[in-house]
Chain A
Amino acid sequence: MYDFDFIRPASVEDAVAALATDPEAIAFSGGQTLMPAMKQRLASPSAVVSLTGIAALKGLRDEGGRLWIGAATTHAQVAREAADSYPALASLAGRIGDPSVRARGTIGGSLANNDPSACYPAAVLGSGATVVTDRREIAADDFFEGMFTTALEEGEIVTAVIFPRPARARYEKFRQPASRFPLTAAFVAQFDDGVRVAITGASEGGVFRWTEAERALTGNFAPESLDDIAPPDAEGMISDLHGSGAYRAHLVKVMTRRAVANA
């Protein structure tokens, strides 16, 4: 690890200011990706601006029937406190990483990083959630722009995520054997106006919506609805040591079916 300054602001304004004054500074919200990278000397920020000391970024609350989650809320807290209000989301949060990751990692950190194998992006895209930042609201469909890329501007901080609550939902993931990140995972959510299916882990473009499946499931929310649908094109799927693009494409369908069956 290289030397760096550690800044722990008490307000969003102070955090934004700290990031604005130093272009080499980086926002830090749990650090479950950033810390290992810094220890390996793969990241060398001049300053780390920790967001987890900002009370306004923490906690869960009902907001007109929608679920508001502060960006600096840990996975463990979501797993505990969303169990009644959004069980599928709580279940997803409770299966991220291991207990120490869940005790430190936060939803805002996960979304801002947008790892193509992260769990949360699937829930946010699959729920059609709204990402709230220090300066605007971004629809999930506009937020994820590809592997490790989001609509966030330089110095923009995610402050909260607002989830509409579906009638039924479920997240099913197939773990990569080594890292235990999703090799491919599917988040399925049924709303009054239709079904959303978001896939993570599989695509070189990061999290994506599987629209063919959404159409079929909107007609009939049952695993059999997927029988006649081909898996997504293997082209563009991640192909590596742990599985080919064809295998991941196949898993997209398997995991989606399971998510529907278990929703």
Chain B
Amino acid sequence: MPKDGGIGSSPKRREDIRFLTGTGRYSDDINLHGQAYAHFVRSDVAHGRILSIGTEAAMAMPGVIRVFTARDFEGAGGIPCGWQITSRDGSVMQEPKHPILAEGKVRHVGDPIAVVVAETLAQARDAGEALEIEIEDLPAVIDMRSALAEDAPLVHEDLSSNLCYDWGFVEENREATDRAIREAAHVTTLELVNNRLVANPMEPRVAVGDYAAHSDESTLYTTSQNPHVIRLLMGAFVLNIPEHKLRVVAPDVGGGFGAKIFHYAEEAFCTFAAKALRRPVKWTSSRSEAFMSDAHGRDHVTRIELALDADNNFTALRTETLANMGAYLSTFAPSIPTWLHGTLMAGNYRTPLVYVNVKAVFTNTVPVDAYRGAGRPEATFQLERVIDKAARELGVDPIALRRQNFITEFPYQTPVAVQYDTGDYHATMDKLLEISDHAGFEDRAADSRARGKLRGFGISHYIEACGIAPSNLVGQLGARAGLYESATVRVNATGGLVVMTGSHSHGQGHETTFAQVISDMIGIDADMVEIVHGDTARTPMGMGTYGSRSIAVGGSAMVRAAEKVIAKAKKIAAHLMEAADSDIELADGRFTVAGTDKSVAWGDVTLAAYVPHNYPLEDIEPGLEETAFYDPANFTFPSGAYGCEVELDPDTGEVTVLGFTAADDFGNVINPMIVEGQVHGGLAQGIGQALMENCAYDENGQLISASYMDYAMPRAADLPMFRVDHSCVTPCTHNPLGVKGCGEAGAIGSPPALVNAVLDALHRGGHRVDHIDMPLTPARVWTAMQG
């Protein structure tokens, strides 16, 4: 049994009290003395040449302080990209400049052209309308295939084409994979689209820039998942501010889902303008702006081929993907369709040969980058869809086909670079079938049939690489940053302690879970532990939160720092009790000399550390504060089996999700309630992608799903009660907590399960439909049923 409040128990989230009572402090709650307001004037065309920007009339409007255009940023750098991909021919990717404000051309609807800073937001908006901007329309490239055509208009005229890179992985496997596919007993081919999504966190982005003339220090308050990364990218590459003169604060953040990882122009603008104007400058995104300025997610077009031998063993897998980069390279964009996608193409299966080709394409659309799962949902979707299709073609049970090809021995070296440390895929599949009452499905299907409806069951089994990642590995893969994490554990004299973590919580509940871990390690109440994050002035250099890395990497750093604290505290305790260090044990907040009844309390030791009257000053320094940087030896590999049960109305094509079951192996779990909440959220987003969400452009590059009137977000009523389980545990072998991460799993495993379920329902109704591209809206399903 887990200790009350310790690892494995489910205390309520301490942060929820402020979130639910309106006392959270979000970036938009920050209002500084003398603050001015920035309004971004954005392009309403997808592609065009800026002929002139007339600012005179706007400057004369009431309250206007200054109008900024690209000319004001001639000394500044572009927004940098944090990852470089090398193409098959050995050349590095084409990397266009991403200016803060459009230089010469606009390249997507929403591309910022000018900024008005005024005394009030209304004045800034009024003046924005008075700007005289003359743009010559250019033909836009929206569709990726057209963008790659010989005579396609160039998004960036200084590049040779709209191709960012042509990546092959593993290139040495290519010929053998081609041969295996030629010689296979059966090959299943599937072409599919992984639909473009808008992250839509509840809190839109905000940036507040401030400048202190007395210290020449700039401060940026921003809605970020990784304030240190923003400080490094913006300070070193864009604005040339040394890190010791730049503070980035990401206070309470209302959801990120990836879209708040990246460094955005608005952050650099507000920081720059605050110094230029000697006044704080604030920008708060409207929801409409968010649709056209937050990085989008997914948007892959893929052809996948799965080869099988006569006994239905997988022998080779080949995929070709076009990945939309949008108009500029966002911070991590190049890595998503490559290293976070290609390395997962083996899935849970013993496929000896895998070859992945990805062509990344520039188009006149909003930049595309990581969105919950980032690359891994795209890999899982195509793999779990093609396996279902193969099973149907071969007339075998899709579950049996998966089981037959499962990896069962660990560690397992995949043909796509990564090595899985642990897993038990049969266990999660067994658990799924049990808790989804798979055995009772046929009865339920008969009941649906009797009511004129079609019921279907679909399955997927995912793997993801989390806890990214070893710095030396990602460095070889093209990352321009390390991917360790940091923590400082500061113990106060009276025994309470503060953990300053480089991870960032924007809904994940770190303040609760991280405190649980410390509480367990020392044996004190979690209430004595404060978790601080999101401020470069308070926390050590950290890489932030994404890729389900917080507990696996950030938590591990905290454990390492706490271990150092405990080791030192034991020395102090040994001195106080006149015993040897090695005889000291710590349990339940007391240090005991092993085998005796001599003990001192945690608080006695912490007090001695800061009031060192009786203290081994010749051996150790006073104080009790330690920092650790943790760089993991490998990714972690959560996996799981997902089952979806749907009912389809053949009259309308409407799909109702009746049941969704998730059996995950997350390794050890710190707080089961929070893990379940993470899975619920991931499932909602995955079901949203599969069923409703679709970011759509017309052929001219107008965003036609630019508000909630046309972009369908899932609501509670669209979702069933989830059944989730995390009792299948194979602990991670290489981090101190044995944890794997759970943040993205739900969004990774659910889309293929849902699509498989709908196709199962259609086939049961006699509709021989091979595939429907997401989202499976009623109109798309009905259209597919018409043949």
Binding site for B on A (CB under 8 A): 1-2, 40-41, 174, 177-179, 183, 241-244, 247, 250-251, 254
| Docked CA distance A1–B122 (Å) | 8
Contact in complex: A177, B652 (CB < 8 Å): no
CB contact between A243 and one of B704, B709, B710, B778 (< 8 Å): that residue? B778
**Listed A/B pairs (18) with beta-carbon separation below 8 Å:** A174-B652, A174-B654, A174-B778, A177-B778, A178-B705, A178-B710, A178-B711, A178-B713, A179-B710, A241-B696, A241-B704, A241-B705, A242-B777, A242-B779, A243-B778, A244-B783, A247-B653, A250-B782
| Docked CA distance A1–B121 (Å) | 11
Contact in complex: B288, A40 (CB < 8 Å): yes
| Docked CA distance A254–B779 (Å) | 13
Select from chain B the residue with minimum beta-carbon distance to A257. Answer: B651
| Docked CA distance A253–B491 (Å) | 71
Q: Does B750 contact A (CB under 8 A)?
A: no
Select from chain A the residue with minimum beta-carbon distance to B692. Answer: A177
Contact in complex: B709, A179 (CB < 8 Å): yes
| Docked CA distance A162–B654 (Å) | 36
Contact in complex: A241, B652 (CB < 8 Å): no
**Chain B hits for A241, CB < 8 A:** 694, 696, 704-705, 710
Contacts A247-B779, A254-B651; A178 near B125 (Cβ below 8 A): no
| Docked CA distance A250–B783 (Å) | 11
**Chain A hits for B654, CB < 8 A:** 174
**Chain B hits for A254, CB < 8 A:** 651-652
CB contact between A177 and one of B122, B288, B712, B783 (< 8 Å): that residue? B712
| Docked CA distance A40–B122 (Å) | 12
Chain A to chain B: the 4 pairs with minimum beta-carbon distance, closest first: A243-B779, A178-B712, A177-B712, A179-B709
Select from chain A the residue with minimum beta-carbon distance to B651. Answer: A254
Contact in complex: A178, B782 (CB < 8 Å): no
Could you mark each residue 128-160 of chain B with 1 if its beta carbon is under 8 Å from any beta carbon of chain A, else 0? 010000000000000000000000000000000
**Chain B hits for A177, CB < 8 A:** 692, 712, 777-778
CB contact between B709 and one of A2, A178, A247, A250 (< 8 Å): that residue? A178
Q: Does B410 contact A (CB under 8 A)?
A: no
| Docked CA distance A38–B557 (Å) | 51
A1-B122, A178-B711 known; 20 new pairs, CB 8 Å cut-off, are: A40-B288, A41-B129, A174-B652, A177-B777, A177-B778, A178-B708, A178-B710, A178-B712, A178-B713, A179-B710, A183-B778, A241-B696, A241-B704, A242-B710, A242-B777, A244-B779, A247-B653, A250-B782, A251-B652, A254-B652
B279 to chain A, nearest CB (A): 25
| Docked CA distance A1–B653 (Å) | 40
| Docked CA distance A240–B278 (Å) | 49
| Docked CA distance A76–B682 (Å) | 35
Select from chain B the residue with minimum beta-carbon distance to A181. Answer: B709
Could you mark each residue 677-696 of chain B with 1 if its beta carbon is under 8 Å from any beta carbon of chain A, else 0? 00000000000000010101
B700 to chain A, nearest CB (A): 15
Select from chain B the residue with minimum beta-carbon distance to A179. Answer: B709
Select from chain A the residue with minimum beta-carbon distance to B698. Answer: A241
| Docked CA distance A197–B779 (Å) | 23
Could you mark each residue 765-783 of chain B with 1 if its beta carbon is under 8 Å from any beta carbon of chain A, else 0? 0000000000001110011
| Docked CA distance A96–B284 (Å) | 31
| Docked CA distance A247–B783 (Å) | 8
| Docked CA distance A247–B780 (Å) | 9
* Interface of chain B residues 728 through 787 with chain A (CB within 8 A): 777-779, 782-783
Total contacts A-B at CB 8 Å: 46
**Chain B hits for A174, CB < 8 A:** 652, 654, 778
| Docked CA distance A18–B668 (Å) | 69
Classify the secondary structure of A's interface with B: loop
Contact in complex: A178, B651 (CB < 8 Å): no
* Interface of chain B residues 607 through 664 with chain A (CB within 8 A): 651-654
* Most A C-beta atoms less than 10 A away, residue of B122, B126, B129, B779: B779
| Docked CA distance A46–B709 (Å) | 26
| Docked CA distance A241–B704 (Å) | 8
**Chain A hits for B712, CB < 8 A:** 177-178
**Chain A hits for B129, CB < 8 A:** 41
CB contact between B782 and one of A1, A40, A247 (< 8 Å): that residue? A247
**Chain A hits for B713, CB < 8 A:** 178
Contact in complex: B708, A179 (CB < 8 Å): yes
Contacts A178-B712, A179-B710, A241-B704; A41 near B779 (Cβ below 8 A): no
B667 to chain A, nearest CB (A): 37
**Chain A hits for B126, CB < 8 A:** 2
| Docked CA distance A183–B708 (Å) | 15
| Docked CA distance A217–B288 (Å) | 46
| Docked CA distance A2–B128 (Å) | 13
Could you mark each residue 155-182 of chain B with 1 if its beta carbon is under 8 Å from any beta carbon of chain A, else 0? 0000000000000000000000000000
| Docked CA distance A153–B661 (Å) | 57
| Docked CA distance A243–B709 (Å) | 14
**Chain B hits for A40, CB < 8 A:** 288
| Docked CA distance A243–B783 (Å) | 9
* Most B C-beta atoms less than 10 A away, residue of A41, A177, A178, A242: A177
**Chain A hits for B652, CB < 8 A:** 174, 251, 254
* Most B C-beta atoms less than 10 A away, residue of A1, A174, A241, A251: A241
Select from chain B the residue with minimum beta-carbon distance to A98. Answer: B715
Select from chain A the residue with minimum beta-carbon distance to B708. Answer: A178
A72 to chain B, nearest CB (A): 25
| Docked CA distance A247–B777 (Å) | 12
**Chain B hits for A41, CB < 8 A:** 125, 129
A147 to chain B, nearest CB (A): 16
| Docked CA distance A243–B712 (Å) | 14
| Docked CA distance A178–B696 (Å) | 13
Could you mark each residue 287-308 of chain B with 1 if its beta carbon is under 8 Å from any beta carbon of chain A, else 0? 0100000000000000000000
Select from chain A the residue with minimum beta-carbon distance to B711. Answer: A178
**Chain B hits for A179, CB < 8 A:** 708-710
**Chain B hits for A2, CB < 8 A:** 126
Select from chain A the residue with minimum beta-carbon distance to B710. Answer: A178
**Chain B hits for A243, CB < 8 A:** 777-779
A223 to chain B, nearest CB (A): 11
Select from chain A the residue with minimum beta-carbon distance to B288. Answer: A40
**Chain A hits for B779, CB < 8 A:** 242-244, 247
| Docked CA distance A122–B241 (Å) | 62
* Interface of chain B residues 82 through 141 with chain A (CB within 8 A): 122, 125-126, 129
B481 to chain A, nearest CB (A): 37
* Most A C-beta atoms less than 10 A away, residue of B696, B711, B777: B777
A41 to chain B, nearest CB (A): 7
Select from chain A the residue with minimum beta-carbon distance to B694. Answer: A241
A38 to chain B, nearest CB (A): 13
* Most B C-beta atoms less than 10 A away, residue of A174, A247, A254: A247
| Docked CA distance A179–B715 (Å) | 12
B771 to chain A, nearest CB (A): 19
B272 to chain A, nearest CB (A): 27
B120 to chain A, nearest CB (A): 12
A100 to chain B, nearest CB (A): 14
| Docked CA distance A244–B781 (Å) | 12
**Chain A hits for B710, CB < 8 A:** 178-179, 241-242
**Chain B hits for A251, CB < 8 A:** 652
Select from chain A the residue with minimum beta-carbon distance to B696. Answer: A241
B408 to chain A, nearest CB (A): 41
B764 to chain A, nearest CB (A): 21
* Interface of chain B residues 482 through 513 with chain A (CB within 8 A): none
A206 to chain B, nearest CB (A): 18
**Chain A hits for B694, CB < 8 A:** 241
| Docked CA distance A241–B710 (Å) | 8
Select from chain A the residue with minimum beta-carbon distance to B782. Answer: A247
Select from chain B the residue with minimum beta-carbon distance to A253. Answer: B651
| Docked CA distance A104–B129 (Å) | 31
B354 to chain A, nearest CB (A): 36
| Docked CA distance A179–B710 (Å) | 6
Select from chain B the residue with minimum beta-carbon distance to A251. Answer: B652
B441 to chain A, nearest CB (A): 27
* Most A C-beta atoms less than 10 A away, residue of B651, B711, B783: B651
Could you mark each residue 208-224 of chain B with 1 if its beta carbon is under 8 Å from any beta carbon of chain A, else 0? 00000000000000000
